Structure 1
Amino acid sequence: MKRPLYVAGAGAVTPAGLSARQTIAAIRASLSAFEEVPLAKPFGAPQVVARVPAHRRLHRSDGEWLVNMAARAINEALGTVDPAVAVATVLLVTPPESFRNHPAFEEIPARDFLAAIIERTGRKFHPASRAIDGGAAASLGLIEQALNLMEEQGVAQVLLGGVDSLVNDADLARLGQAGRLRGANAQGLVPGEAAVFVRLMRGPGREPMVAAIHGVGLSQETDTVLSERYSQGRAMLGALRYAVNGSGPSEPDIDFVISNGNGERYQGLEMLITRPRFYRTRRELMATAYPAMTVGDIGAASGALTLMLAADSFRDDYAPGAVAMCEVTSESGLRAAAVMVGASRV
């Protein structure tokens, strides 16, 4: 990255809380939002999931539910601002990955999804706003684009994040058929749902900045969890190396990691291979946070969640060090990494 990009705020709707503060408090307290529900197929079979508590009128359909979650998180992240600032704000959203044929898009076509979210927020945003396929890692991959938008198109700020739900009949059936669900598979994932957005700015203004992103790396893994081969970690290793390939912090400076790891054997083995090849400096302990232990696998929303949690740890001074590495994977194979530093240490 040419220069750091600052995290100024965040908004979230997750199974652990209906705001960023509630979600972060639950993660810090090591609470679990897991519950057991009966499946439609096979009928009545129990399955552990992480659902957002909400009135049924907000969840009349899968599409409406994603739009409602996203709008709430976006409005929280944006806060109370002058309408002119909102119009100069770009919204970059990662929805559920296209290969999943998410049932939300049966009601709201993917091409209309962003417009539906913007309409639900009741605000107007910059015309450069986009919805980008690619899942959780795509959120981090858009950070450099966010910086370019602010420098070249006069954008005031960028809201970056995602919305997703794996708690639907289609995804549950797909994951169950592949033997990837927690239950029959002790190392399976817990399907979750959430919307998480972070507010990015170029530098300190009238409001305090929370944390700075100094470097981002992005790479595509060919041996995905959807293939018949285990990953050798080449893409994640490339993303990590690229993230520190600049004037910011380097590998020896990294004090802790925030990962969107979901507990699956596939991802555990991938990181078992990757981390010793990247983190070569001797450490007594590499502190690592796994938010999925509280909120489950929240798909496309989990990339922004790692940024939000890292920024909060710097703001409230409970980070185990000065530099964090966010490690994010997408189900379709995209890998991303981002180096973050507390704003007070920049």
Structure 2
Amino acid sequence: MKRPLYVAGAGAVTPAGLNARQTIAAIRACLSAFEEITLGPLGVPQVVARIPTHRRLHRSEGEWLVNMAARAINEALGAVDPRVAAATVLLVATPESFRNHPAFAKVPVHDFLAMLVERTGRKFHPASRTIDGGAAASLGLIERAANLMEDQGVAQVLLGGVDSLVNDADLARLGQAGRLKGTNAQGLVPGEAAVFVRLAREPKRERVVAAIHGIGLAQEADSVLSERYSQGRAMLGALRDAVNGSGPSEPDIDFIISNGNGERYHGWEMLIARPRFYRTRRELMATAYPAMTVGDIGAASGALALMLAADSFREEYAPGAVALCEVASESGLRAAAVVMRTSGGR
């Protein structure tokens, strides 16, 4: 990256809270938003993390994603002049296309952004886009966000994602593969969420902000969907690319924020990748796993990692000044972002 970008705000709707503050508080307190539901006519129990909501907001899966995302976007954007909103780009990661998410059965993915913008009641920059690629896709577009602000006069970028794995199609797919927690002690807990961070070129009016100094992106051939376990090559490449610049390097990293969801696959991948990357001796590498509170939230996971890093610096509970966000998508995309504590303008 030519210059750092600043995380100047965030918005979230998760099983742990209906805004960013509630979500962060629940993660810090190590609370769990898990609950047990029954699946199918036989009443098979399943642990999930879902957002309690009125059924009028969840008439269909597509409408539910739109409602979640609109709420999180409006929180992240805040009360701004309509002209600022019109100069703001939305980059929205949606559920990965291979999943054939039921949300897009009635709402085609190419119409999703227009519906979302209409639901927010705002007007956004025409460069706004939806993104395929899952959790890692949003982090992978940080450099694009920087270029939009540098070259096209964009005021700011709202970067994030919306997803729900708590639907019949994903539950059946994950269950058939033996990946759900319950039947598999090392399975994942399906969750749902919308999380967005507001990226700016300059820190303005924030007491303390988080600066993104480097990113890395790579594609893993041996994804969790393949018949082979990952050797961590793509994640290792993403980690190395993230520190391959003028910002913090590997010895400077104080803690990790990971979207690891508890699956054996992820544990083995990081067991191989991390020792190859972290070569500086450490007594302890503190690691935050937000999925322990909100479950696997798919495409929203990347923005949640950035939001948690920024809040830990702002509220001064971070174990150090440099965080490394490690994010993996189900289909194999891997991303890493180096985030550093820095004083903002007053």
1:52-108 deviation per Cα after TM superposition (whole angstroms, max 9, x unaligned) = 011111001100000000000000000000000000000000000000000000010
Q: Given the alignment of the two structures, is residue 68 of structure 1 paired with residue 70 of structure 2, yes or no?
A: no
* Residue aligning to 1:81: 80
- Find the aligned partners of 1:156 and 1:277 in 2 and give their Cα distance: 39
CA contact (8 A) 1:203 1:209 kept: no
Q: Given the alignment of the two structures, is residue 280 of structure 1 paired with residue 279 of structure 2, yes or no?
A: yes
CA contact (8 A) 1:38 1:47 kept: yes
CA contact (8 A) 1:241 1:278 kept: yes
| Aligned pairs (5 A) from 1:231-310 | 231-310=230-309
Greater mean deviation of Cα atoms: 42-51 or 202-211: 202-211
* Secondary structure class of the residue paired with 1:310: helix
* Residue aligning to 1:39: 39
| Aligned pairs (5 A) from 1:154-193 | 154-193=153-192
| Aligned pairs (5 A) from 1:7-46 | 7-40=7-40, 43-46=42-45
| Aligned pairs (5 A) from 1:109-258 | 109-208=108-207, 210-258=209-257
CA contact (8 A) 1:193 1:299 kept: yes
**Letter matched to residue 5 of structure 2:** L
**Displacement after TM superposition at 1:345 (Å):** 9.0
In the superposition, the TM-score normalised over structure 1's length comes to: 0.98
* Secondary structure class of the residue paired with 1:6: strand
* Residue aligning to 2:5: 5
CA contact (8 A) 1:6 1:209 kept: no
CA contact (8 A) 1:198 1:304 kept: yes
Please list every run of 5 or more consecutive structure 1 residues that lacks an aligned counterpart in the other structure.
none
In the superposition, the TM-score normalised over structure 2's length comes to: 0.98
- Find the aligned partners of 1:206 and 1:23 in 2 and give their Cα distance: 23
* Residue aligning to 1:94: 93
RMSD value, Cα: 1.1
1:33-69 deviation per Cα after TM superposition (whole angstroms, max 9, x unaligned) = 00000112x6310000000011111001100000000
CA contact (8 A) 1:322 1:345 kept: no
**Letter matched to residue 135 of structure 2:** A
1:254-310 deviation per Cα after TM superposition (whole angstroms, max 9, x unaligned) = 000000000000000000000000000000000000000000000000000000000
Q: Given the alignment of the two structures, is residue 320 of structure 1 paired with residue 305 of structure 2, yes or no?
A: no
CA contact (8 A) 1:140 1:337 kept: yes
**Letter matched to residue 37 of structure 2:** V
**Displacement after TM superposition at 1:206 (Å):** 4.1
**Displacement after TM superposition at 1:205 (Å):** 2.7
* Number of residues of Structure 1 aligned to a counterpart in Structure 2: 345
CA contact (8 A) 1:8 1:208 kept: no
- Find the aligned partners of 1:43 and 1:208 in 2 and give their Cα distance: 54
CA contact (8 A) 2:219 2:334 kept: yes
Identity %: 84
- Find the aligned partners of 1:155 and 1:83 in 2 and give their Cα distance: 14
- Find the aligned partners of 2:343 and 2:206 in 1 and give their Cα distance: 13
- Find the aligned partners of 2:226 and 2:48 in 1 and give their Cα distance: 24
* Secondary structure class of the residue paired with 2:343: helix
Residues 1:321 and 1:30: Cα distance change in structure 2 (over 3 Å): same
Residues 1:345 and 1:154: Cα distance change in structure 2 (over 3 Å): closer
- Find the aligned partners of 1:301 and 1:125 in 2 and give their Cα distance: 20
**Letter matched to residue 67 of structure 2:** N
**Displacement after TM superposition at 1:338 (Å):** 0.1
Please list every run of 5 or more consecutive structure 2 residues that lacks an aligned counterpart in the other structure.
none
**Displacement after TM superposition at 1:210 (Å):** 1.5
- Find the aligned partners of 1:158 and 1:182 in 2 and give their Cα distance: 36
**Letter matched to residue 215 of structure 2:** V
* Secondary structure class of the residue paired with 2:105: helix
CA contact (8 A) 2:181 2:188 kept: yes
**Letter matched to residue 2 of structure 1:** K
- Find the aligned partners of 2:109 and 2:42 in 1 and give their Cα distance: 30
* Secondary structure class of the residue paired with 1:343: strand
1:114-161 deviation per Cα after TM superposition (whole angstroms, max 9, x unaligned) = 111111000000000000100010000000000000000000000000
- Find the aligned partners of 1:184 and 1:174 in 2 and give their Cα distance: 14
- Find the aligned partners of 1:167 and 1:81 in 2 and give their Cα distance: 33
* Secondary structure class of the residue paired with 2:292: helix
- Find the aligned partners of 1:137 and 1:328 in 2 and give their Cα distance: 5
**Displacement after TM superposition at 1:343 (Å):** 1.9
